[in-house]
Chains A and B, each alone.
Chain A
Amino acid sequence: EPEVTQTPSHQVTQMGQEVILRCVPISNHLYFYWYRQILGQKVEFLVSFYNNEISEKSEIFDDQFSVERPDGSNFTLKIRSTKLEDSAMYFCASSALQGAKDTQYFGPGTRLTVL
């Protein structure tokens, strides 16, 4: 069964450093998403991406964040200058279609720890 994969599973970084979290969505999917979950809190939407453009982003997704689909398979989330409060689980998701008709499938997550 196809699945979303994410690397690394755990990333430790120093405050102020740049990090890139990687995701390989399900191969025939066209819509890609990033969510995050701070320890003990809700899963929060960050951004959705389609056709090489951001289609929607939340207030959390400020100028420190960027997304990219550098090739036909990877989808990345970059945090330019990490802060302590960026420590969280980051989940990538993908879907074949946009909107209510389709299902988003999530990856296992990357645990980001900012020291």
Chain B
Amino acid sequence: DAKTTQPPSMDCAEGRAANLPCNHSTISGNEYVYWYRQIHSQGPQYIIHGLKNNETNEMASLIITEDRKSSTLILPHATLRDTAVYYCISGYNKLIFGAGTRLAVHP
């Protein structure tokens, strides 16, 4: 079973920041937190990952709490093309996907 919990769905207005929360309270010290997304039935697309520090890349920012029990993925300016299912995953080798958060970006 997935070791993370996420809200099943969220809405966001186009152009606004989308903040997607994830709880991973049982994460162990050497496990990274990964974020992927899946648009329709396409292959999961890597977004970002982190261990302890906050991370930013061209797609998103990842904020990890100091105790590492939760994190937030931030899409700074959501577009309609960001509508997808977003998965927060903690793991060591294989990726265990949960149900994710279905993000709907609307005009």
**Is A106 touching B96 in the complex (CB atoms < 8 A)?**
no
Over the window 72-93 of chain B, the binary record of Cβ atoms lying under 8 Å from chain A Cβ atoms (1 yes, 0 no) is 0000000000000001000111
Q: Are B45 and A45 in contact (CB under 8 A)?
A: no
A7 close to B (CB within 8 Å): no
CB-based A-B contact count at 8 angstroms = 59
Please state if A48 and B91 are interface contacts (CB–CB under 8 Å): no
User: Which residues in A have some Cβ–Cβ distance to B below 8 Å?
Assistant: 4, 33, 35, 37, 39, 42-45, 48, 55-56, 58, 89, 91, 93, 98-101, 103-109, 111
The chain A residue with its CB closest to the CB of B48 is A103
Cβ–Cβ < 8 Å partners of B68 in chain A: none
Point out residues on B near A: beta carbons under 8 Å. 2, 30-32, 34, 36, 38, 41-46, 49, 51, 87, 91-99
- By beta carbon, the residue of chain A nearest B43 is A106
Interchain CB contact under 8 A, B30 and A104: no
Least Cβ–Cβ distance between B16 and chain A, in angstroms: 28
A56 touches B93 (CB 8 A): yes
